[in-house]
A and B are shown apart, each in its own frame.
Chain A
Amino acid sequence: MTTIEQELRDAISERTDHVHAEAPPEAVLTARVGAARRRRTQRRAAALSAAAALVVAVAAVALVERGDDRDGVVATQPSTEVPTTAEAEGDPGTEVPETATTTTEPPTTTTAPTTEPTTDTTVPPGPVAPAAGTYVWPASPSDFGTDPVETARRFATTVLGMVDVVATERAAGPDVDHALVDVSPNGGTAHPTVVRLDHISAGPDGSGRAWYVTSAETDQIEVTTPDTGTTVRSPITLAGTSLAFEAQVNVVVLPVGASGTTTPYGQTFVMGGGTERAPFSGTVAYSAPAGTPAMLILSEGDASGRSRILRATVIPIVLAG
C-alpha cells in the first residue's frame, strides 16, 4: 500500500469513526415508507384526474362539433362529479383522508345521468394536522413521532443540521400534554436549544400519541417580532436581541416540515451582539403562495464546522403572499 493510500484510509477511518449514528426505531422507517406510498398514490391520482379531464375536454369538443353539424342540437347535460377514495396504503392508523375527484361525461341523450359512485366514499377518521401557524415540523401527521425526545432529535438533525446531538427531556411539569426537550449538538458541548413539542392522538380511536414540534428557542436569540403564529407579509420585519459568534444571526424562511437542505422561501442575516447581548433588526423577503405555513429560523452557525447550526430559535408563521 502506498503512502497516499494509507493516508486516505486513515482519513476515511477518522471521519467515519466520529460519526455516531444509530439506526432509528423501525417505526421511523415504516412511517417514511407509508408517507412515500401515499405521495406516490396522490401523484398517480392527480395524473389520472388530469388524464380524465383531458378526455372529457376532447369529448366535449367533439360533441359540440357534432351538435353544430346537426343544426344546433347540442348536448348540454352537465358533467357529474364522481368522488372516489384515494388508494389507501401504508399505516391506516395514520392515514390522512384524501379524496380524488374524476369527471365522468354524461350520456349524449336527454336522459338523466346514470353514473353512480362505484366505490365506498367513507373514510376512517384519522389524525388531523394541527392548524397552520401552530407547528413547524414534521408537515404531515403520518410523519409525527412516537416519542418526543426522538422527534426533537430528528428535528435537530434534519432541520437544524446538528450532528452528534444530545437530546434530554426536561422534567415533566403539570402540563403533561406538552414536552420540552433540550438538544445540544457536537456531543452536548453547546448551550442547548429547547424544542417544544405537542401531540395528537395517533390512532383513530384516540389511542397513542404522535408528537410534533411547535417551536424551538435558545435564550441567546430572542425574537420579539414577528410573534409566534402570526400571518406576515414580505418582507418580514425582524427584531429581538441576540448574542452570537461574530454577532451574526442567520435567518431562513422554510416550508413547514422541510429539512434544512430545502431551498428556502427567503434568507438573510442580521447583526446583534458578539460579546454581549445586543438588539438586532432587519427584514427578510420571501416568495411563496399566500397562506403558506412556514417556519422562521434564526440561528447561530457552528464556527467549528461540525454542525450546520449551533443553536436556534424557530417559530411558526403563516405567509400572506
Chain B
Amino acid sequence: MLSTVTSEPDDPARAGDADLADLFRTHYVELVRLASILVDDVGTCEELVQDAFVALELGRRRLRDADAAPAYLRSVVLNRARSHLRRRDRSRRANPLRPVWVQPADGVDVDDLDGRDRRRAVLAALRRLPDRQREVLALRYYLDLPEAEIARTLGISAGAVKTHAHRGLAALAQELEDQP
C-alpha cells in the first residue's frame, strides 16, 4: 500500500516534471534490467518501463509520497511484465506455429554445459517459477532489496516474501538437480 503522506511542492506541475525526469534518468536502466530477468525481449522491457513512467505521471495525484515512487515503478514494471508473459503464453497456445517467442534453455542438459549455459539454465528455470516466487527472487538477487522493501513493492507481507523466496529457491535447486 502506498503512503498517503504528502508534501506538496510550490508549483506542482513544474516540480512534478523535474521529479519525473530525475526518476527517469536514475531508474530507467535499472528497471529495464529488472524486467529483462523476467522477459526475454529487451525492446519489450523498455516498452514496459516507459509505460510504468507514464502510469506514474498519470497517477501522480494518487502517489503523494515521493519516496514511494521507485517502489511504485518496480511494482508497475513487474505487473506489466506478468501481464505480458500471460498474453504471450496465450498467444503461443493459440498459435503454436508462431516462431518468434521462443524461450531459451528449455530442457537443456545441464551436466554437459559450461558455466555460461549453466547460468542460462538457471535463468530459464527462474522464469518457469510461479509469478510471486520469480518476482521475489528477482528483487532479492538483482536489486538486493530487504524483505520489507520487497513486501512493499509486491503488496504482500514480509512473511509471504520469506515463504516465496524459500519455495522458489527450493524449486530452482530441485529442477536443476533433476535435469539429467
Which residues from chain A sit less than 8 Å from chain B, CB to CB?
A: 2-5, 7-16, 19, 21-24, 26, 28-29, 32-33, 36-37, 40, 156-158, 160-164, 248, 250, 259-261, 263, 267, 269, 301, 305, 307-309
Q: Are B43 and A163 in contact (CB under 8 A)?
A: yes
Give the nearest-CB partner of A309 in chain B: B100
Given that A21-B29, A263-B91 are known contacts, is A12 also in contact with B141, CB under 8 Å in the complex?
yes
Measured CB to CB, the closest approach of chain A to B108, in angstroms, equals: 12
The reply to whether the CB of B46 lies closer than 8 angstroms to some CB of chain A is yes
Which 3 pairs between the two chains have the least Cβ-Cβ distance? Answer: A157-B43, A11-B122, A23-B28
Give the nearest-CB partner of B105 in chain A: A305
Q: B119 is contacted by which of A14, A162, A269 (Cβ under 8 Å)?
A: A14
Q: Binding site of B, secondary structure by majority: helix, strand, loop or mixed?
A: helix
Measured CB to CB, the closest approach of chain B to A216, in angstroms, equals: 15
Q: Are B50 and A32 in contact (CB under 8 A)?
A: yes
Give the nearest-CB partner of A6 in chain B: B141
Q: Are A308 and B41 in contact (CB under 8 A)?
A: yes
Q: A158 is contacted by which of B43, B88, B169 (Cβ under 8 Å)?
A: B43
Besides the contacts A2-B173, A7-B118, what 7 more A-B pairs have beta carbons closer than 8 Å?
A13-B142, A21-B33, A33-B53, A163-B41, A163-B43, A261-B44, A269-B97
Q: A4 is contacted by which of B21, B44, B169 (Cβ under 8 Å)?
A: B169
The reply to whether the CB of B176 lies closer than 8 angstroms to some CB of chain A is yes
CA distance A8 to B133 in the complex (A): 13
Q: A157 is contacted by which of B33, B42, B169 (Cβ under 8 Å)?
A: B42
On chain B, the residues within 8 Å of A158 by CB distance are: 43, 46-47
Q: A21 is contacted by which of B32, B84, B126, B138 (Cβ under 8 Å)?
A: B32
On chain A, the residues within 8 Å of B116 by CB distance are: 14
Given that A16-B36, A161-B100, A267-B98 are known contacts, is A21 also in contact with B47, CB under 8 Å in the complex?
no
The reply to whether the CB of B63 lies closer than 8 angstroms to some CB of chain A is no
The reply to whether the CB of B69 lies closer than 8 angstroms to some CB of chain A is no
Interface string of B119-134 (1 = CB under 8 A from A): 1101100100000000
CA distance A307 to B104 in the complex (A): 12
The reply to whether the CB of B76 lies closer than 8 angstroms to some CB of chain A is no
Q: A261 is contacted by which of B20, B24, B88, B126 (Cβ under 8 Å)?
A: B88
Given that A19-B33, A269-B99, A309-B100 are known contacts, is A261 also in contact with B84, CB under 8 Å in the complex?
yes
Give the nearest-CB partner of A4 in chain B: B173
The reply to whether the CB of B54 lies closer than 8 angstroms to some CB of chain A is yes
Given that A29-B20, A29-B53, A301-B100 are known contacts, is A19 also in contact with B142, CB under 8 Å in the complex?
no
CA distance A157 to B88 in the complex (A): 17
Interface residues of B in 46-84 (CB under 8 A from A): 46-47, 50-51, 53-54, 57-58, 84
CA distance A16 to B20 in the complex (A): 24
On chain A, the residues within 8 Å of B104 by CB distance are: 305
The reply to whether the CB of B87 lies closer than 8 angstroms to some CB of chain A is yes
Measured CB to CB, the closest approach of chain B to A152, in angstroms, equals: 13
CA distance A44 to B123 in the complex (A): 43
Give the nearest-CB partner of A28 in chain B: B50
Interface residues of B in 160-176 (CB under 8 A from A): 169, 172-173, 176
The reply to whether the CB of B150 lies closer than 8 angstroms to some CB of chain A is no
Give the nearest-CB partner of B137 in chain A: A8
On chain A, the residues within 8 Å of B91 by CB distance are: 263
Measured CB to CB, the closest approach of chain A to B67, in angstroms, equals: 21
The reply to whether the CB of B37 lies closer than 8 angstroms to some CB of chain A is yes
On chain A, the residues within 8 Å of B122 by CB distance are: 7-8, 10-11
CA distance A19 to B33 in the complex (A): 6
On chain A, the residues within 8 Å of B47 by CB distance are: 158, 259, 261
Q: Are B53 and A15 in contact (CB under 8 A)?
A: no
On chain A, the residues within 8 Å of B45 by CB distance are: 19, 21
Q: Are B142 and A12 in contact (CB under 8 A)?
A: yes
Give the nearest-CB partner of B17 in chain A: A30
The reply to whether the CB of B25 lies closer than 8 angstroms to some CB of chain A is yes
On chain B, the residues within 8 Å of A24 by CB distance are: 46, 50
Q: What would be 6 A-B contacts, judged by CB atoms less than 8 Å apart?
A: A14-B116, A14-B123, A161-B43, A162-B43, A260-B43, A301-B99
Given that A11-B120, A161-B100 are known contacts, is A2 also in contact with B50, CB under 8 Å in the complex?
no
